Amino acid sequence: MTKLYFIRHGKTEWNAEGRFQGAGGDSPLLPESYDQIKMLGNHLKDIEFAHAFSSPIKRARITAEETLAMLNKRPELTFMDGLKEFSFGVWEGMSFGEVQEGWYDMYDASRNHPEKFDASQVEGSESFESVQKRFREAVEEAVATYGGEDVNLVFFSHGAALTTGMGGLIGIPLADLRARGGLGNTSTSILETHDGHTFTEITRNDTSYLGVASDASNTI
């Protein structure tokens, strides 16, 4: 059985401001995020990971590098484009309120009804299906290369990509993808697989090690 740990990057300035970042946008991690990444690293430090994988986008890359530096046995790190954040095209850099005002139906679909989201209505955006496809391909490649009996792998990615990608791995219908809400910054979710193709959820959105109160700006 291969156990897969999925980590969302630390909180950024645009997270705090309620802005879409996406794959093309990026903003610095908040100062307090570095402290929370250390808490994450301390939480994971005794786990031996066969390999680590990360989105190449800066906020995820820094979260990965800072976390892995805390581990008792640091694994090698590979960057994978399949773990990048959901591309939101022209929405990137805009506030949620601005997007809601300009694209009410598509904003509502992206947040509440993914099965109704039409990427052709948002210039430069990906579809939920395309994100699930690339995410699955990346994870299956990682498991095929490094997975095995009693093996742990760790992945660093982004809120929308993780919600979408992990949902696809465990077979959640698009219509129900957002029903459980978003994932917290610096959260850990765990899946297991015995064959590299079918996945079971063990833990979702664990932030217990951070000791922070629930905050809507911490999730997406």
Percent helix, strand and coil across the chain, each to the nearest 5: 45, 20, 40
Which residues have CB under 8 Å from 115's CB, separation 6+? 109, 128, 173, 174, 175
Whole-angstrom Cα distance, residue 112 to residue 177?
A: 8
Whole-angstrom Cα distance, residue 79 to residue 54?
A: 5
Q: Which helix (H) or strand (E) holds 186?
A: none
Residue list for the binding site for substrate:
8-15, 59
Amino acid, res. 8? R
Residue list for the binding site:
8-15, 59
Whole-angstrom Cα distance, residue 113 to residue 187?
A: 24
